[in-house]
């Protein structure tokens, strides 16, 4: 990994970050309802009180002045005060919700990646067979089904009909736990259905692994391993699957960042207090500061993940040189 590549890559990341800052500032202000209308005209406030609200939130400033303050505050680590939850600071809301979303996403990745990996290896190794067709059909069906619909089905069957899991929230209210084990059990029971909803997108990893395996098993080193009399399991996993892993790593990294979009629907369906639910409420309340903070975190996460993937490639495949 050369210094020239590293500097060029960091420069590109900085450019993407600047573009993300601009888009992050513009998108909330393109929403149909304006913050001024929501916080002044919808309430029975006197003209003086309305002007006081406008000045308090800085809505009387021009767009360029608001953008300049937004950029300055971002580099100071200051996201401002929430419009909808005034006077709570945006950082408090975001970092209160972030651990819940990370818990869902990381748990879903830990479960879905091995499932996608092994099903992809099996389907690729038996390409064209009934096993391959069945796995492909299930994966495509789950991928084509909206996450919120899957979440609603799971909620109706396992939460409402069978009563196995709670219907909403991340913990029992009021939270009275005799010990930490009971607390963890309660957290897990509330998270099972949201995690299962996110796990259903394992088909992405499965399809990528399967297609890469189909190409890899035709390589000369795989044919030589078979000719040497090595067991099918060893050839399948040690030679074919290990060399077909690189595209899967790319998918896992990018999907982790993209799952945030899915978490908005899942957390809303289950009333789970994560970033996705916070974004949904902020959209309804035209809460610019919270939306900007949440989207900025996701933008930074995606940029960092892509950069880390480039570094991981070097260790997974020695042939790659930057």
* Dihedral in degrees, nearest 10, Cα atoms 281, 149, 300, 6: -170
31, part of any domain = yes
Which residues touch 285 (CB under 8 Å, ≥6 apart)? 38, 83, 84
Q: Residue ranges of the chain with pLDDT lower than 70?
A: 1-2, 28-61, 239, 253-262, 314, 316-322
**Structurally, how many domains does the chain consist of?**
2
Provide the domain limits for residue 235.
93-281
Q: For residues 170 and 99, state if they share a domain.
A: yes
The pLDDT assigned to 46 comes to 59
In a domain, 151, yes or no: yes
Tokens of 296: 């900025």
- Residues 172, 140, single domain; the answer is yes
31 lies in the same domain as 107: no
**Token pair in block for residue 267:** 């957390």
Token code pair at residue 318: 């020695």
- Give the integer Cα–Cα distance in Å for 162 and 109: 26
Report the distance separating Cα 270 and Cα 159, nearest Å: 10
Question: For position 260, what pLDDT does the model report?
Answer: 64
Asked, for residue 289, whether it belongs to a domain, the answer is: no
- This prediction has a pTM of 0.76
Q: In Å, how far are 11, 49, 295, 308 from 305, measured between CA atoms?
A: 16, 46, 15, 5
Please state whether the peptide bond connecting residue 6 to the residue before it is cis, i.e. omega within 30 degrees of 0: no
User: Contact 34/286 with Cβ under 8 angstroms?
Assistant: yes
Please check whether residues 27 and 153 belong to one and the same domain. no
Q: pLDDT tens across 4-46, in order?
A: 777 887 888 888 888 888 887 777 666 665 555 655 555 555 5
List CB contacts of 114: < 8 A, sequence separation 6 or more: none
């Amino acid at each position: 990994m050369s210094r020239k590549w590293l500097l060029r890559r960091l420069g590109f990341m900085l450019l993407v970050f600047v573009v993300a800052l601009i888009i992050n500032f513009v998108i909330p202000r393109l929403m149909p309802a304006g913050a001024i209308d929501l916080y002044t005209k919808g309430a029975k406030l006197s003209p003086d009180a309305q002007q006081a609200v406008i000045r308090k939130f800085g809505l009387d400033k021009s767009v360029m002045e608001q953008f300049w303050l937004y950029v300055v505050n971002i580099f100071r680590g200051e996201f401002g005060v929430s419009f909808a939850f005034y006077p709570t600071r945006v950082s408090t809301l975001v970092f209160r919700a972030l651990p819940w979303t990370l818990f869902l996403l990381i748990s879903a990745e830990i479960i879905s990646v091995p499932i996608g990996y092994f099903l992809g290896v099996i389907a690729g190794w038996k390409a064209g067979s009934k096993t391959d067709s069945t796995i492909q059909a299930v994966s495509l069906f789950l991928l084509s089904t909206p996450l919120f619909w899957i979440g609603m089905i799971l909620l109706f069957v396992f939460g409402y009909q069978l009563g196995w899991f709670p219907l909403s929230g991340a913990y029992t209210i009021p939270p009275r736990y005799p010990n930490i084990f009971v607390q963890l059990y309660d957290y897990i029971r509330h998270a099972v259905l949201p995690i299962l909803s996110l796990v259903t997108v394992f088909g992405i990893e499965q399809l990528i692994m399967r297609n890469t395996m189909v190409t890899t098993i035709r390589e000369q080193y795989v044919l030589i391993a078979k000719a040497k009399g090595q067991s099918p399991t060893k050839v399948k996993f040690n030679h074919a699957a290990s060399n077909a892993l690189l595209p899967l790593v790319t998918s896992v990294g990018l999907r982790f960042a993209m799952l945030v979009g899915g978490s908005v629907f899942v957390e809303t369906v289950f009333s789970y207090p994560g970033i996705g639910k916070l974004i949904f409420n902020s959209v309804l309340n035209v809460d610019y500061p919270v939306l900007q903070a949440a989207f900025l975190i996701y933008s930074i996460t995606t940029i960092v993940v892509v950069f880390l993937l480039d570094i991981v490639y070097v260790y997974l495949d020695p042939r790659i040189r930057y």
